[in-house]
């Protein structure tokens, strides 16, 4: 089984996770930029983080046979912090980089006016750079948040078929599907969606334009949730072709809209800017 995890925060994971993911069939992934837990206090801290997603993290993934791309953005939570919003001015020079396959995560957290402004500005950046957008729907009051997101999308220059609406669940999937956007589901062991709920959604709505991801952030999470969803699909009677569509062809198709998706691994350098993943005996 080949797996493309379309949304997983590997900055928060260990090299053991990379090995386990490779063993489970993961050969490609996209790492979206996100809130790191500790609030950032200046645009400079974003830029160091972006540089890591463009350099160190693809190198680290390649050591385990996985091709890594990223999405870059000012995330919804920190869009409310005026110390961080100047990063919007720096984003254009990062959005031209080869590893960047979308603008994201953008969207809403608390549905504030500042989040409205940042979302609209970054949808325009996506349109200007010929990139799709990865849109974070809020974790609270999800249906109202999705509908507000769709209102902003309709006013943007970005076509709905170039948008991935993520963190969906049973309450939001119909409105999201009706919008013409791609549908993203983040799976967790104990909270939000899990593999059994995901299978139920797929039975109701089919496999078209659906992407399943492991998310895997700093809290309790599992970087193998995409594989578990694939196994649950097979156990529920979905065909191997259905599974391949959801966990490989759909993410390839969506991120391929960027024109930058490269599923072959980079050269097998043993270090990145003088640093390796080895400790002792190099």
% of the chain with per-residue pLDDT over 70:
94
Per-residue pLDDT of 159-207, as tens digits, reads: 999 999 999 999 999 999 999 999 999 998 876 789 999 999 999 999 9
Longest CA span, the chain: 57
Q: Please give the structure tokens belonging to residue 250.
A: 């759909």
What domains, with CATH codes, occur in the chain? 3-258 (3.20.20.140)
Q: Please give the structure tokens belonging to residue 138.
A: 């809020």
pTM: 0.93
Q: Beta strands of 60-156 (E only): which ranges? A: 67-72, 100-107, 133-136
Give yes or no for residue 109 having a pLDDT over 50. yes
**How far, in Å, are 27, 60, 262, 267 from residue 228 at the CA level?**
15, 24, 25, 30
- What pLDDT does 275 receive? 62
Q: Beta strands of the chain (E only): which ranges? A: 3-5, 26-32, 67-72, 100-107, 133-136, 163-166, 182-186, 210-213
pLDDT band at 270 (very low <50, low <70, confident <90, very high): low
Per-residue pLDDT of 68-95, as tens digits, reads: 999 999 999 999 999 999 999 999 999 9
What are phi and psi for residue 140, nearest 5 degrees?
Answer: -115, 145
Measured torsion, CA atoms of residues 180, 158, 153, 37, in degrees rounded to the nearest 10: 100
The number of angstroms, rounded, from the C-alpha of 217 to the middle of its chain's C-alpha atoms is 11
Q: CA-CA distance, 229 to 214, in Å (whole number)?
A: 9
Give exposure, 1-31, as e/b (b: 16+ Cβ within 10 Å).
Answer: eebbbbbbbbbbbeeebbebbbebbbbbbbb
Q: CA-CA distance, 249 to 243, in Å (whole number)?
A: 9
% of the chain with per-residue pLDDT over 90:
84
Q: Please give the structure tokens belonging to residue 265.
A: 């691994």
- Contact present, 33 and 278 (Cβ < 8 Å): no
- What pLDDT does 281 receive? 46
In which order are the strands placed within the sheet that holds 67-72?
3-5, 26-32, 67-72, 100-107, 133-136, 163-166, 182-186, 210-213
Of 179, 166, 132, 138, the residue nearest 5 (C-alpha): 166
What are phi and psi for residue 16, nearest 5 degrees?
Answer: -60, -35
């Amino acid at each position: 089984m080949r797996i493309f995890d379309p949304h997983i925060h590997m900055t928060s994971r260990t090299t053991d996770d990379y090995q386990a993911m490779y063993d489970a069939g993961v050969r490609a992934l996209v790492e979206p930029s996100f809130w790191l837990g500790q609030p950032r206090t200046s645009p400079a801290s974003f830029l160091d983080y972006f540089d890591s997603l463009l350099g160190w993290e693809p190198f680290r993934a390649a050591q385990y046979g996985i091709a890594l791309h990223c999405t870059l953005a000012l995330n919804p939570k920190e869009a409310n912090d005026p110390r961080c919003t100047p990063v919007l001015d720096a984003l254009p020079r990062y959005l031209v980089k080869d590893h960047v396959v979308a603008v994201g995560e953008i969207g809403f957290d608390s549905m504030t006016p500042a989040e409205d402004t940042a979302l609209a500005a970054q949808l325009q950046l996506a349109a200007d750079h010929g990139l799709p957008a990865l849109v974070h729907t809020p974790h609270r009051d999800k249906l109202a948040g999705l509908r507000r997101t769709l209102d902003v999308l309709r006013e943007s220059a970005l076509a709905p078929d170039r948008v991935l609406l993520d963190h969906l669940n049973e309450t939001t999937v119909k409105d999201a599907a009706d919008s013409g956007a791609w549908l993203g589901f983040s799976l967790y062991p104990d909270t939000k969606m899990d593999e059994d709920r995901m299978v139920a959604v797929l039975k109701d709505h089919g496999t078209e334009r659906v992407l399943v991801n492991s998310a895997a952030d700093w809290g309790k999470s599992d970087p193998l949730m995409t594989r578990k969803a694939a196994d649950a699909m097979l156990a529920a009677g979905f065909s191997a072709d259905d599974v391949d569509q959801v966990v490989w062809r759909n993410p390839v198709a969506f991120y391929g809209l960027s024109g930058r998706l490269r599923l072959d691994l980079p050269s097998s350098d043993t270090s990145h800017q003088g640093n390796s993943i080895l400790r002792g005996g190099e």
